[in-house]
Amino acid sequence: MTITKRNNKYYCRFQIKGERHHYLCKGAINKQQAEQIESALKFKLMQQQNGVIPRDGKKYSLKEIINDYINWATLNKISYKKDIYRLKIVQEQWKHIKYVDDLKPIHIE
């Protein structure tokens, strides 16, 4: 639980169950208000981690991530052909999985 002030804006930084979080305490005029905003953010994030409310954010498709990685590997790695070969196997095994959020530990095993 760290509140910092920069350029007349308050920021909070904390960690919940190994996930790091950094936020602007939007609308906070003083440190007390920033602490209240931080506690509200923590409460919301704990509910999301425990499955009480759904997580915010975009759902990423597995195909999209694999294609982005292949594009990056092609430009940055000498061994990109091996990566493409391995990812084709992954795509074949996980063809029924549409989103990354749908992956379970059993799939990776």
Q: Does residue 41 share a domain with residue 8? A: yes
Task: Read off the pLDDT of residues 32-83 as tens digits, 9 standing for 90 and up.
Answer: 999 999 999 999 888 888 877 777 777 888 888 999 999 999 999 999 999 9
82, part of any domain: yes
Domain boundaries, position 37: 2-49
Mean pLDDT, range 101-107, rounded to an integer: 82
pLDDT at 86: 93
Task: Read off the pLDDT of residues 5-20 as tens digits, 9 standing for 90 and up.
Answer: 999 999 999 988 888 8
pTM (predicted TM-score): 0.51
Examine the pLDDT at 90 and tell me if it is beyond 80. Answer: yes
55, part of any domain: no
Q: Does residue 70 share a domain with residue 35? A: no
10, part of any domain: yes
Q: Does residue 98 share a domain with residue 67? A: yes
76, part of any domain: yes
Number of domains in the chain: 2
Q: Does residue 95 share a domain with residue 66? A: yes
pLDDT at 1: 60
Q: Does residue 34 share a domain with residue 12? A: yes
Residues near 12 by beta carbon (within 8 Å), at least 6 away in sequence = 1, 2, 3, 4, 21, 22, 23, 25, 34, 37, 38, 41
